[in-house]
Amino acid sequence: MPASRSVVIGVDSSTQSAKAAAVDADTGELLALGRAPHTVTGSAGARESDPDEWWTALVAAVRAAVREAGAPAASVTGIAVAGQQHGLVTLGPGGRPLRPALLWNDTRSAPQAAALATRLGGPASWPTRTGSVPVASMTAAKWQWLREHEPHHADATTGVRLPHDHLTERLSGAAVTDPGDASGTCWYGTATGAYDPDVLDLIGLDPALLPAVAPSGAARVGTLTPAAAEALGLPRTVAVAAGTGDNMAAAVGLGLGGAGLLDHPVVSLGTSGTVFAATRTRPTAPGLAGFAATDGTYLPLGCTLNCTLAVDRFATLLGLDREDAAPGGDVVVLPYLDGERTPDLPHAAGLVTGLRHDTEPRAVLGAAYEGAAYTVLRALDDLLAACGLDPADPAVRDRPLRLVGGGARGRAWTDTVRRLSGRPLLVPAADELVALGAAALAAGAVTGTDPVALAAGWGTGAGELLPPVPRDEETWDRIATVLAAATPTLLR
C-alpha cells in the first residue's frame, strides 16, 4: 500500500453485527471488511442488546479491517459510525449504560406509542411536527415505556443516546448526534431542525440529557480519545465524524441526496425491510416515517419489521434452503413473526392460509417471500407521493428501484421483488453500502467535501440494471385481500 494513501473507516453497527469497512479515501476502493457479532436477547416483544458489546464488536471489526487491509495505522485519517435506528441507550454515572438498550424492533412500547399519538393534536399533527406518528419503534415511545415500567432506571439516567450516538461518544468523547438519526426519535422536529420542547415535556425528558445535534453526519466532532485510540490501535489524530443512522448512511453510499440523485426509490432487504428516497420535499405523510437525511435533504421511509430473518425462519421450519422457493400460488403468508410496524400491528403473529393436501413446502416458502416483499412494496406509491411525484406517471414508474441489503444478493428475493413490483431493478455491485456511506461521512469529516458527492464519485451506487417483468397482479391482490380480512384479528 502506498505510504501516502489515506484510509477512512466506515462502521455499520447493525442489529446483528458490527462491520467495519477500510476504504481508500480517494478512490472509494474497499480495502478490507472486518466483522464481529452482536447478541440480541428477549422474547414476547422484547428485543435488547448490551451497548458494551457493540463497542467490543466495533473494536474487533475495526482492528480486523485495518489488519486485513495491510494499512499502516498512520494512514487511517477518519472514522464514522452508522447505527441501527431508534434504539434507546440510557447512560448513568461515568457514561456507562444503566441497562441493555431497547432496540428498534422491541414492540413492548406499543401502548405508549398509541397513547402518545393521541396527544399534541392527534396523529394528523405529528408528521408536520416531527415527521412521523409515534409507533412502537420510535425512541420516544421506548423512553415512555421505561418511565412507566422501570422508573428507577429513568430516574437514574444521566444521558440518553441512540446506538450510533453512544458509539461516537465512545470514540470521541463528544455527546453528539446528527439530524438524520435524531429524526427517528419523535422528539426531534424536522420542521425546526431542533428538539421539540413540547414533545420533551410530554414524555418528561430533560433536554440536558440529550446530545447536541451536529449540522450533518459528516461534521467533524473531534478526534479519538486516548482510550479509543489505544483500543483501536490507531493514532489519536483520527478525525471522528458525527455519523448517522443506517438508512441515512445507505442513502449516502448510493449517492442519494443534495449533491447526487433525488427522488429515486430504494428498497432495502435486511432484518427489516425499508423503502426510501432522498428528496428536497419535507415529508408529512402519516403512513411513512418522515426522516431527515444527514445532508440537509429528507428521507421519507416506509419500514417493516419482518424481512430476511422472517423468511429465513420459514426456510428453517420447512427444512429448505432459502433459495429453494417457488411461487406461492394459492398460499398466502403474512410473516409478521415479530409483530409489524407497517402496517402498525405490533401484537400480530405470522399467518399462513390457503394450504391444500398437495401444497408443496417450496410454495409455502415462496409465499413467505411474497408476503414480506408485498409488505415493503405497498408503501412505494406513498413514498413517491411524499417526494412530490405522481406514482401513476409512466416516467416515474419506469424509474428503477435500487435494491440493496443482504436480500438483494439472493435470487429468490430479486425475482420476487421484480415480479410484485413490475419495475426495473438496479442492483448495486458494491456490498456493505451502509459501511461505505459511513466511510464517505468519515472522508467528509477529514476533507470537508460533501459525502454524497464523494460516494457518487466513488461509484458505489453503480450496478446491474434488470429490466421489468409484468407485475403479478393476481398474487398482489390475493395478499391484499387476506391482509384486509385478517387485520381485525391481528390487531388483538
C-alpha pair distances (Å), 68 with each of 28, 198, 236, 407 = 17, 49, 21, 26
**b (16+ CB within 10 A) / e for 321-359:** ebeebbbbbebbbbbbbbbbbbbbbbebebbbebeeeeb
Exposure on the CB side of residue 484, measured as CA atoms within 13 A: 7
Which of 293, 125, 291 is closest to 198 using CA atoms?
A: 125
Q: Could you please report the per-residue DSSP string of 302-333?
A: EEES-SHHHHHHHHHHHT--TT-----TT-EE
Active-site residue (options: 165, 178, 246, 344): 246
Cα–Cα dist 267/92, whole Å:
38
Quickly list DSSP for 90-145: EE-GGG-BSSPEEPTT--TTHHHHHHHHTSTT-TTTHHHHHSS---TTSHHHHHHH
Closest CA to 166 of 273, 242, 114: 242
Q: Which 8-state DSSP code applies to residue 445?
A: H
H or E element that contains 170: helix 163-172
Helix axes 451-458, 246-253, angle to 10 degrees: 50
- Tell me if residue 246 is catalytic: yes
Query: Which uninterrupted H or E stretch holds 447?
Result: helix 433-447
- What's the maximum distance between 2 C-alpha atoms anywhere in the chain? 67
Residue positions annotated with a catalytic role: 246
